Amino acid sequence: MTLAATGPWSGVYTKRSLVPVGRLAVGIALIVVWQLGTNTMGREWLPSPLDTLARIWQLAASGELARDTLVTFGEAAAGLILGGAAGAVLPFILRLSPRLMTALDPLISAAFGMPKLALAPLFILWFGIGITTKVVFVASIVFFLLFYNGLAGILSIDPRLVAMLRVAGASEWVITREIVWNTTKPFLFSGLKIALPRALSGAVVGEFIAADAGLGWYIQNARSLNDTTGVLAGAVIVTVLVMVVNAILQRVQARSLAWRPIARDMTV
């Protein structure tokens, strides 16, 4: 134990022990600022942390929290799988045809710049107000995040390395599996880090527009009733949900990219 503490890894262990302390300090500071804001503005404008926590506990006890969270999480997960899978696979397909990639690039860029919220009325017209509308809305958001990150990973591959493997007799499948996939994987994880919170926020926004359940529906309903505590409680629940999902993704990324020393350093 003494040797480990004084060895070359002692600095790493010290940093790891400071991370939870720093996060706790930041959390306490935010709560203090929140309470000061409540004291300054009044509870009608900014409910206190205790009032918000009491509302969340009330929602948990009644079962509404679990119901609405599952609805929103299900919409976000389905949209992430649908749009994320398409966005992650398409760069691998376009890599096989550079001309097709060049031809589609302006079209994809134009679609990316199109405001997705403006398409919401069309989604409702096509798919109704059920879960399908929110899934498609989320998919239309996360698709581009995974696509452009995956494309960046593929474009970062040294073509000379691929040429050497082809000269050595490697098949296209081997090149894709050993070089293209392993090079692109960190880029896809970076895209997922952005896509996950966007998927949840997209599901919530979709529920603002048309829904009868979900966290977005709860927030919108509380807003219509001038229930600021309910609005803030819903926002806090969504934030915590994003933090939990992001923590799980970091664990998965650390295991998947354990062969990259920089990936381990990033999780310290």
Answer left, alpha or beta for residue 169, where phi above 0 means left and psi between -120 and 50 means alpha. Answer: left
Task: Report the alpha-carbon distance of residue 111 to residue 91 in Å, rounded.
Answer: 16
The CA-atom distances, in angstroms, between 68 and each of 47, 97, 130, 153 are 22, 44, 14, 37
pLDDT of residue 57: 92
pLDDT of residue 40: 80
% of the chain beyond a pLDDT of 70: 88
- Tell me which amino acid residue 21 is: V
Domains along the sequence of the chain with CATH? 47-266 (1.10.3720.10)
The average pLDDT across 222-227 equals 85
DSSP classification of residue 205:
H
pLDDT of residue 263: 43
Looking up tokens 């550079």 gives 98
> Given pLDDT bands bounded at 50, 70 and 90, which one contains residue 78?
very high
Q: Using one digit for the tens of pLDDT, what is the confidence trace for 156-208?
A: 887 787 778 777 777 778 777 778 788 888 888 888 888 888 888 888 888 88
> Given pLDDT bands bounded at 50, 70 and 90, which one contains residue 52?
confident
Q: Using one digit for the tens of pLDDT, what is the confidence trace for 96-123?
A: 887 887 878 778 888 777 777 777 777 7
Query: What is the Cα 156 distance to its own chain's centre?
Result: 23
Burial of 259 (0-12, 13-18, 19+ CB in 10 A): exposed
Residue 139: pLDDT above 70?
A: yes
The average pLDDT across 204-231 equals 84
Annotate 187-211 with b (16+ C-beta within 10 A) or e (fewer): bbbbbbbebbbbbbbbbbbbbebbb
Task: Report the alpha-carbon distance of residue 180 to residue 92 in Å, rounded.
Answer: 8
DSSP E strand stretches across 103-213: none
Give the pair of three-digit tokens for residue 180: 């293209």
Q: What angle do CA 167, 172, 177 make, to 5 degrees?
A: 115
How far apart, in Å, do the first and last CA atoms of the chain sit?
20
